[in-house]
Amino acid sequence: MQDYRIRVNNKAVDRISVLDRGLQYGDGLFETVAVCKGVPLLWHRHWQRLEQGCQRLGFSVPDQGRLQNEITIITEGVDTGVLKLVVTRGCSHRGYAPDANSACNQIVYLFPWPDWPGKWRQQGVDVRLCATRLGMNTQLAGIKHLNRMEQVLARMEWQDEVAEGLLQDQEDNIIEATSSNLFAVFDNQLYTPDLSRCGVAGVMRAEVMEHASSMKINVNIEKLSLARLQSADEVFLTNSIIGIWPVKRIDSTKYPVGVITKSIQNRLGSAYCEKAL
Amino acid sequence: MQDYRIRVNNKAVDRISVLDRGLQYGDGLFETVAVCKGVPLLWHRHWQRLEQGCQRLGFSVPDQGRLQNEITIITEGVDTGVLKLVVTRGCSHRGYAPDANSACNQIVYLFPWPDWPGKWRQQGVDVRLCATRLGMNTQLAGIKHLNRMEQVLARMEWQDEVAEGLLQDQEDNIIEATSSNLFAVFDNQLYTPDLSRCGVAGVMRAEVMEHASSMKINVNIEKLSLARLQSADEVFLTNSIIGIWPVKRIDSTKYPVGVITKSIQNRLGSAYCEKAL
């Protein structure tokens, strides 16, 4: 495949009106979907989150059939790739009040599969704690909206081989990494931060929680301090593209690639798409 | 003039690549400037805030001369209007890490002057308290970045003749209105909320503070609770387009259009642009 493919509002174009509210205010949502053997993985979960996001932000849900048709078109002949969807509230003139007559804009991108080192999945990744913090707002927490300035600033904090950066909220709770969710293992149980005030409730986070439950591994959703995280038996990161990355180091704290992490990785590998991971 | 004019990256086009990071992440800044008798008002203040925002977000400041040239082109033959500038970090593929080689994108819009009721400036406006809250983040506070989902959700809370909605932070402090700053008068002194953790430091807010100082009116920047605001002698709102709107009501609390508000309005009127206001 060529470098990337783009379709905007069901047409093979790559430009949008500068009156689009996604551009003017970040007034929209996105999803990042792994495509493996031509199939968008965990589509039902991505669709569900997109639908919930539209409801939370108060704009009309796109037509699922039409969106799936767009995905079929853009993934044609592609085995493995990263599909990105952006849905915005549409266009309007200046001013925060939306135009009631404006239809949503829908953008579908297909990017090549990223070239992360293969060893990251087996041997684990190095992670750092970011200085950038997440603001807290229950109205926006959990959904994958387009207001991502905090993640951009956090990601700009490093240029070296560190794989991810952890973000704390304003009250020193560890919430997530810039583009992945975090799990810690204590006494053979999973712990993942509460995302009711900030953070993105990842599709892979939900998938991991479901697998863990079926494997009789307890999952606890609660506040997580840095000090507690430093004493974890194992730590791993999840998102739709990376699947699961064991964490072998957070700044100066080291972790083993442990049994629980590996068992969930294996479970996910066969259920998800080993080739993509 | 026709409905609106748009120029993107120094050309008379109205579309932008969907790889733009303003669209993908709200990774950019904007300014809204009153144009009166063909002149962009308080340009030095707008430029200064834009420049500070670029520095805070870590992207290169646009060339001021070239930007001013664009403004000259787009305002040609126009007496009164609203100029909007958007500067984004430019384009990149998927992922929060910016492309180091990408140049900023610059959009200049010119919209007609809004048709607010003329009496709002003399007789004051009705204001409501919004349920939507502002998240707090010192890194983003003050600058006029493109992550404006909170303002959009707040503005969607009403459709009636209410002119503005007040926003509180997560700790119940009154911060600003959806698109204007707030001043309260107690004992002939001005009070305006501290914006070090959230809110936009408005150009007209700075202008009003400077005029007040030259008029020997004390200006206090501090935390402001709703209860304290309800006991204010006078309340007014400011932004670059409205200038000053006296507030005659916040929900069920009524205020007079008082002496301090009128005196600053008068001072501003002659210094700013009476026609535009």
**Which is nearest to B147 in space by CA: B223, B61, B86, B63?**
B86
Query: What phi and psi, each to the nearest 5 degrees, are found at residue A124?
Result: 95, 170
Q: What is the structure's pLDDT at A1? A: 43
What residues of B are in contact with residue A58 (Cβ under 8 Å)? 153, 156
Query: What phi and psi, each to the nearest 5 degrees, are found at residue B218?
Result: -65, 140
| Residue from B94, B107, B145 whose CB has the most chain A CBs within 10 Å, to mutate | B94
Q: A126-158, pLDDT tens digit by residue?
A: 999 999 999 999 999 999 999 999 999 999 999
Interchain CB contacts (distance < 8 Å): A and B = 175
Interface predicted TM-score (ipTM) of this complex, two decimals: 0.96
Query: What phi and psi, each to the nearest 5 degrees, are found at residue A7?
Result: -135, 135
- Give the length of chain A: 277
Tokens representing residue B228 in the block: 């304290």
What residues of A are in contact with residue B22 (Cβ under 8 Å)? 23
- Alpha carbon distance A231, A255 (integer Å): 9
- Give the length of chain B: 277
Determine, for residues A148 and B96 on separate chains, whether the beta-carbon distance falls below 8 Å: yes
- The amino acid present at B125, given as its one-letter code, is V
Helix, strand or coil for residue B78? Answer: coil
Using alpha carbons, list the distances in angstroms from residue B121 to A69, A216, B235. Answer: 52, 66, 13
Determine, for residues A97 and B155 on separate chains, whether the beta-carbon distance falls below 8 Å: yes
Query: What phi and psi, each to the nearest 5 degrees, are found at residue A102?
Result: -85, 130
Determine, for residues B137 and A148 on separate chains, whether the beta-carbon distance falls below 8 Å: no
What residues of B are in contact with residue A93 (Cβ under 8 Å)? 4, 111
- Alpha carbon distance A141, B75 (integer Å): 41
Determine, for residues B25 and A152 on separate chains, whether the beta-carbon distance falls below 8 Å: yes
- Alpha carbon distance B88, B106 (integer Å): 7
Q: How far is A23 from chain B (nearest CA, A)?
A: 4
- The amino acid present at A230, given as its one-letter code, is Q
Per DSSP, what are the bridge partners of residue B200? B142
In this structure, the strands spanning B189-193 and B219-222 are parallel
Q: Is A169 left (phi over 0), alpha (psi -120 to 50) or beta?
A: beta
| Residue from A152, A157, A162, A196 whose CB has the most chain B CBs within 10 Å, to mutate | A152
What residues of A are in contact with residue B132 (Cβ under 8 Å)? 139
Contact in structure between A229 and A250 (CB atoms under 8 Å): yes
Q: What is the structure's pLDDT at B277? A: 56
**Which is nearest to B6 in space by CA: B109, B100, B93?**
B109
DSSP A208: H
Q: Which residue of A has its CA nearest to B99?
A: A156
Determine, for residues A15 and B16 on separate chains, whether the beta-carbon distance falls below 8 Å: yes
Using alpha carbons, list the distances in angstroms from residue B267 to A25, A156, B260, B263. Answer: 33, 44, 11, 6
Query: What phi and psi, each to the nearest 5 degrees, are found at residue B73?
Result: -65, -45
What is the mean pLDDT for each group of 10 consecutive residues in chain B (277 residues)? Answer: 86 98 98 95 97 95 94 96 97 93 95 92 97 97 98 97 97 98 98 98 98 97 98 98 97 98 90 60
- Alpha carbon distance A2, A72 (integer Å): 17
Tokens representing residue B82 in the block: 């609203």
Contact in structure between A169 and A136 (CB atoms under 8 Å): yes
Q: What is the structure's pLDDT at B1? A: 43
Using alpha carbons, list the distances in angstroms from residue A3 to A78, A81, A107, B5, B268. Answer: 12, 11, 17, 34, 54
Using the structure block, give the residue that is written with the tokens 């200006």: B219
Counting as low any pLDDT under 50, the low residues of chain A are 1
Using alpha carbons, list the distances in angstroms from residue B123 to A195, A255, B120, B218, B246. Answer: 45, 66, 5, 25, 7
DSSP B172: S
Nearest CB to A137: which of B15, B84, B150? B150
Sheet strands (E) in chain A: 5-8, 15-17, 28-36, 39-40, 81-88, 105-111, 125-134, 164-169, 174-177, 181-186, 189-193, 219-222, 234-239, 243-250, 253-254
H or E segment to which residue B31 belongs? strand B28-36
- Alpha carbon distance B229, B243 (integer Å): 21
CB-hemisphere CA count at 13 Å for A180? 22
Q: How far is A95 from chain B (nearest CA, A)?
A: 8
In this structure, the strands spanning A189-193 and A243-250 are unpaired
**Which is nearest to B52 in space by CA: B87, B23, B21?**
B87
Whole-model pTM: value is: 0.96
**Which is nearest to B133 in space by CA: B145, B122, B149?**
B149
Determine the distance from the C-alpha atom of residue A122 to the mean position of all C-alpha atoms in its chain, rounded to a whole number: 21
